């Protein structure tokens, strides 16, 4: 019988959640996802942008860094997690047809920096290198059909799924959306949605394997 793999060999899921309310539906989604994949001994790192006080403002120095420039300390911290991630999970609400400005700032400062600074920049050195899996859980107060009618859903899919996958060479993308998430939503419906999160988390966990263990 094979020896159990050390925990550090198991996949790392970096979960980036963006919502100002600590008891929000989005935070519940992030925590349930983490709990589910941890049940498979996978590792998680929850990056709660509001509680971290993440600065989403891209500075001029970051926009045009010199050849010897290093990323700011807060970006360097996030890059370290992103660089080691087997799965990156974005959890956020849709406001006025788009993700919160703080999440867009995270994309601007961290994801974009990953193509400029060392480590995660390796796509330039090894064209075709795939990074990991990108998963998004989004929510909206309106129904998804309404987002479709307004063109917001297609726009979001193109930017946060198709574009990021192609630009940063993710192996795959998956987007799970929860519509009609409003204040006072009945606990029964919240519970049903969280079961969907668990199902998605188990499916995603099955895509990645402990390092050094061959896929079946």
Rounded CA-CA distance 151/56 in Å is 26
Can you list the positions of beta strands (E) in the chain? Answer: 12-17, 43-48, 87-93, 133-139, 172-178
Q: Does 3 fall in a domain?
A: no
Does residue 164 form part of some domain?
yes
Cβ 49 vs Cβ 17: under 8 Å: yes
On whether residue 112 sits in a domain, the answer given is yes
* Residue 211, in any domain of the structure: no
User: pLDDT tens string for the chain (216 positions)?
Assistant: 444 556 667 999 999 999 999 999 999 999 999 999 999 999 999 999 999 999 999 998 888 766 557 889 999 999 999 999 999 999 999 998 899 999 999 999 998 887 654 444 444 544 445 678 999 999 999 998 998 898 888 888 888 889 889 888 899 999 999 999 998 889 999 999 999 999 999 999 998 876 544 343
Q: Which domain holds residue 42?
A: 11-205
Mapping DSSP to helix (H, G, I), strand (E, B) and coil, where does residue 61 land? Answer: helix
* Domain presence at residue 132: yes
In this structure, what token pair is assigned to residue 135? 């998963």
CATH for 115? 3.40.50.360
Q: Please report the pLDDT score of residue 4 as a whole number.
A: 54
Is residue 183 helix, strand or coil? coil
Determine the Cα–Cα distance for residues 72 and 69; give it in Å rounded to an integer: 9
Name the phi and psi angles at 11, rounded to 5.
Answer: -55, 150
172 falls within a domain:
yes
Residue 30's Cβ-side half-sphere holds a number of Cα atoms within 13 Å equal to 26
Residue 178 maps to a domain? yes
* Domains held by the chain: number: 1
> Would you say residue 6 lies in a domain?
no
pTM, entire model: 0.87
């Amino acid at each position: 019988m094979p020896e159990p793999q050390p925990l550090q060999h198991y996949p790392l899921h970096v979960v980036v959640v963006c919502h100002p309310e600590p008891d929000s539906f989005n935070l519940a989604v992030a925590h349930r996802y983490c709990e589910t994949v941890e049940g498979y001994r996978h590792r998680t790192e929850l990056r709660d942008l509001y509680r971290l006080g993440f600065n989403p403002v891209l500075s001029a120095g970051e926009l045009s860094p010199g050849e010897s420039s290093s990323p700011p300390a807060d970006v360097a911290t996030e890059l370290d997690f992103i660089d080691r991630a087997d799965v990156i999970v974005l959890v956020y609400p849709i406001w006025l047809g788009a993700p919160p400005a703080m999440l867009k700032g995270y994309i601007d400062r961290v994801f974009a920096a990953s193509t400029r600074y060392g480590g995660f920049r390796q796509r330039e050195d090894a064209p075709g290198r795939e990074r990991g899996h990108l998963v998004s859980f989004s929510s909206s107060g309106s129904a998804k059909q309404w987002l479709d009618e307004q063109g917001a859903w297609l726009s979001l899919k193109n930017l946060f799924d198709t574009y990021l996958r192609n630009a940063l060479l993710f192996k795959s993308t998956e987007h799970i959306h929860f519509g009609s998430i409003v204040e006072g939503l009945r606990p029964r419906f919240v519970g049903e949605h969280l079961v969907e999160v668990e199902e998605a988390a188990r499916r995603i966990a099955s895509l990645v394997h402990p390092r050094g263990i061959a896929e079946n």
